[in-house]
Amino acid sequence: MPSPIILAKKIYKTYQNNTLYVNALNGVDMELPQGALAMIYGPSGGGKSTLLHLIGGIDRVQSGYLEVDGVCLHSANEKQLTQFRRDKTGFVFQFYNLLPSLNALDNVCLPLLAKGESIKQARRKGLLVLQQVGLLDRQRHRPGQLSGGEQQRIAVARALIVEPVLVLADEPTGDLDSHSTIELMDLITSLNQNLGITFLIATHNIDIRSAATHLFEMKDGILKMI
Ligand SMILES: Nc1ncnc2c1ncn2[C@@H]1O[C@H](COP(=O)(O)OP(=O)(O)OP(=O)(O)O)[C@@H](O)[C@H]1O
Ligand SMILES: [Mg+2]
């Protein structure tokens, strides 16, 4: 049995805004093997995005144990957390989050520039990942000159450029039509099967669930395998 890429034990997260407390995660347990293509379903407000943010090292658990690819996120210091975010994970969002003034290639290169790599080196790798998502010919186009489906594939390429072990996707098909949804899921499935990248996807879209190797439901801050 390969060791799990995600191991969570009784993780809790409460948001506080002034005097209002929201218990977003109420003791989440999770174990996911490396190479999985996992999906989390569940009602709005159930805690899906919160869990993805914790697993991606964007936010911190309140209490509990959270280990991702051998890194103990519950006890990591800021430096370790930043390193984890930059080296281990890629994020894909519902609305792509591309910079409108940069062309596709430069958008894809941003995570490497943030890590301090040279523009030349970043662009060399950028061209490779654009090829992987089938959009090499659109490298000079800006986001506004691309369809929603193409923009999301550029966002996937941006996630891939750091060679992550884990890609976290929050409602990645939420803004796509059915044709672009199929194209995106074909791409994700092929990256999962051919490169062994683990995917964890939060979604409301039941049409994509057949691609999943592991299915979860998240409700009231509790995660269950389904
Ligand atoms: N920054 C925040 N401050 C306060 N409360 C928050 C914050 N972010 C999320 N919440 C609350 O935490 C709970 C879980 O929210 P979360 O965004 O994780 O749910 P979700 O399952 O992703 O929902 P959706 O399907 O609508 O995206 C909700 O009650 C939400 O209002
Ligand atoms: Mg959400």
Residue 120 has pLDDT above 90, yes or no: yes
- Reading the block at residue 217, the tokens are 């439901």
**Other Cβ atoms within 10 Å of 90 Cβ, number:** 24
Spatial distance between the Cα atoms of 95 and 222, rounded to a whole number of angstroms: 26
Q: 72: number of CA atoms within 13 Å, CB side?
A: 7
Enumerate residues 6+ apart whose C-beta is below 8 A from 16: 22
pLDDT one-digit tens code per residue, 155-209 = 999 999 999 999 999 999 999 999 999 999 999 999 999 999 999 999 999 999 9
Spatial distance between the Cα atoms of 214 and 226, rounded to a whole number of angstroms: 8
Tell me which CATH homologous superfamily contains domain 4-225.
P-loop containing nucleotide triphosphate hydrolases (3.40.50.300)
Q: Is the CB of 44 under 6 A from ligand 1?
A: yes
Q: What is the DSSP letter of 198?
A: E
Q: Is the CB of 203 under 6 A from ligand 1?
A: no
Enumerate residues 6+ apart whose C-beta is below 8 A from 151: 96, 98, 143
Q: Which helix (H) or strand (E) holds 89?
A: strand 89-92
By the 8 A CB rule, do 47 and 23 touch?
no
- Read off the pTM: 0.97
Confidence of residue 3 (pLDDT cuts 50, 70, 90): confident
In the chain, where the domains are located: 4-225
By the 8 A CB rule, do 157 and 133 touch?
yes
Taking residues 46-52, what's their average pLDDT? 98
Taking residues 112-119, what's their average pLDDT? 95
- In terms of Cβ atoms closer than 10 Å to its own Cβ (0-12, 13-18, 19+), residue 48 is buried
Backbone angles phi, psi at 169, to 5 degrees: -125, 120
Q: Is the CB of 21 under 6 A from ligand 1?
A: no
Residue 1 has pLDDT above 70, yes or no: no
The per-residue pLDDT for 2 is 67
The per-residue pLDDT for 196 is 96
Spatial distance between the Cα atoms of 104 and 65, rounded to a whole number of angstroms: 38
User: Which amino acid is present at 146?
Assistant: L
Residue nearest to atom 6 of ligand 1 (CA): 15
Q: Which residue has the tokens 């098909």?
A: 173
Residue nearest to atom 17 of ligand 1 (CA): 49
By the 8 A CB rule, do 49 and 170 touch?
yes
Enumerate residues 6+ apart whose C-beta is below 8 A from 78: none
